[in-house]
Structure 1
């Protein structure tokens, strides 16, 4: 049994027999002595040791053993070559080939990040195919222009092809043998070239005509960006000034403006303007500089823009956070109303609004002259709150017909949430057997939207029939409205209350016929 040692070579722990270690030490000392006068001696020797460690690991794995012996060291040093192999110009290059290994200079596909424009895919393919990388890049440009498939192909290759990180991987990428001569040559003649711009190389290959056309197209696009950006800035500024100028109590009813507290309006509008306008201005200035001028933008001016933009972002985030905090707590209250009894009811959506006391305060009109009048139109009707009305129908336990309106809202505190819920205006009317429901809620003067909702529960006795119009279906919860539809031309769908709950009139009739 030979004595074994644990050594660290190339940051890898290797178990090696003592005589093999002595042979390896002699070999490495010769290598270090030979490259001692080289400016890159440390890097060369380190790369050689890393390569030897890789070869040792491959040998142990392929032969399924744990210890390196003298034969393994001789095999590896033979593949690496000795110092004498390249001391003279006429020295013959030594080669070695064994099963499971290929050190004959065959190229392997890696991404060349040293010459990368994006991720090194094109330059890596150029090495593998023995072509100039500019031709591969030209092909890539054409595939992008002729349908865009090149983008997907590039991303797939980027993911699949590994990056050449170690010296031996970069040598394998170029088809160089990973031996002493290869490592020495890689430092004596480093494989580094200056990578040109992606677009510039493509236009050079396409010729002077295409290059000139490209400049025209680029400037045309730049002019388009400048014009659109300038009009955007003017429109943004005009909109802000006009918005602040026409702001009054009526605008508070428009969603999403109804979310903003009136005291936050001016400063939040300023913050939003700075946040959006400054990047647009920066884009216009950058486009002008790149396309038409080589003069850089004044650093002081750039710094001022950055400060204003950060200020706008800070203002916007601060006030958005304050408004969001007013949705923290939830509160609700209920209101029970008796409904006149009928054997059959018609449920429908009614968009009619009647003039109220709150409307008189909002429009500064004497309520005595307009009490009970209908509001035919309102300028903010197209900006109503999100759908926040729901209706469900349940069986009455006491034989009476009633409707419970549950008003809920959110707020900073429970008290605020309850106040917000009390600010809800909702219209429910009974005209004989017709029950009319408003499709939306309205808020009292100066009230902000805080997720106010109205959930109504209509309770009717068993045997009561209900006719609902189609528009009500989006508000009628817990029922599959369309399963009850038997006539597409009919405006109403009929239900009936049973002991089991609300059912389609047709379904009820079918059950009775089967008995």
Structure 2
């Protein structure tokens, strides 16, 4: 059983057993003796301790893990022994004497270079990581900010928050891809970051390493390297794609939240209909915030995943932030589901009210003419539509809802009288609520001589909301009475009007129809192209109905000519 000791190394608390502690203490004391009297020795020792603390943290699986003799040996192997390096003033003038080969350059890590920063050091850090001059990186961010509605600014701020700064000497060496050991730490502190960087560049370790590797590299090793490189390139492409998608969505949601949702600074077409459709009681700003979190949080993690793919040492946002965002997302989605259920409940039931009235024409034997009355003289309408509903204003500028959801039907009456039935329908959370909303629909008609003038729109107060309000006008006429649908009714004629021509809805308009004893309309003035009668003179006929097109050649006619062009369809029998 070993005794454990708590130590504070670079302001980080570690649990270490007694044997490992003694070895680490002797190691650090030997380093202090090596740098005794050296310029900047205190800073060198502090940076070495910070690097050792980083290595310990990398090897620990949890914060309660005890550092053992094994971890201390691994750290010493990475850092090296002080006697392995020359630490005198001539270290850069002569080749240092060493008992083992200096390790080659390793992969760079992304840090913010605060020594050469203008704002946050992001661009200076990217210069080291990407190998691109910081001037060009800054120019790219500026262009993105100007030409992509702030994307460059958002990306810069996110990198500023998520990318750690190179504060210690070991982090600065990581930023340049240099080995972090006693020798390099001592170099950075004694000679300064810029001077050492130039001298390190003068030694082409990559070239030396490549020569050594090339002597033992096989063909299959090369193929493996190529495949690995392609996978890395594909991964980087995926990371860039995720960043673009995530950042673009967040920018769009951000501007939508603070312009349309929060402050109503931008009047987008159709936004006014939110209050007309909404019955949940939630204001638009609250729904905007909930949508921002419900949609934005997943895309934020998508953006974060893309950054993790591109940046190896990207600073974690922490478990607290992750679980907080997850909880916020669950709350937002759950609240939206509740509001959606409440909203759907408003359309669960349909209520109807009927108003049937007998009519009397001035000349009962005359043709009944059905027309639509233009109410634009009484109401002005908005150009923005929600389905078939729109806003309107009466002569007092009172805002109302208007809809052209009007269906006209014709039926045979049971007696010799004429009547008109106005049925109003609307949806609601219950049948009674729906019927009450239907009663509040305003719809009128006029009888002028033998003409029935029907309103083109139904009217209701905005407080009744948009709940599928519609009106069905059913006109009952006696047998043998003639009715004429004016062309203005073509878009309002309803389904299910039986007629001998099989015309559907708008096709009935513009013709005179006679009501027969079976309740079917007989056309009195339809163009006689479909009848097989004496006047056809053996020229054949074309029948167009629900079964398709039937072309019949009559008598001795064995051919005909049919032309279809921009002028329509032309059929001509050939002699």
**TM norm structure 1:** 0.47
Structure with bigger RCO (C-alpha 8 Å, 6+ apart): 1
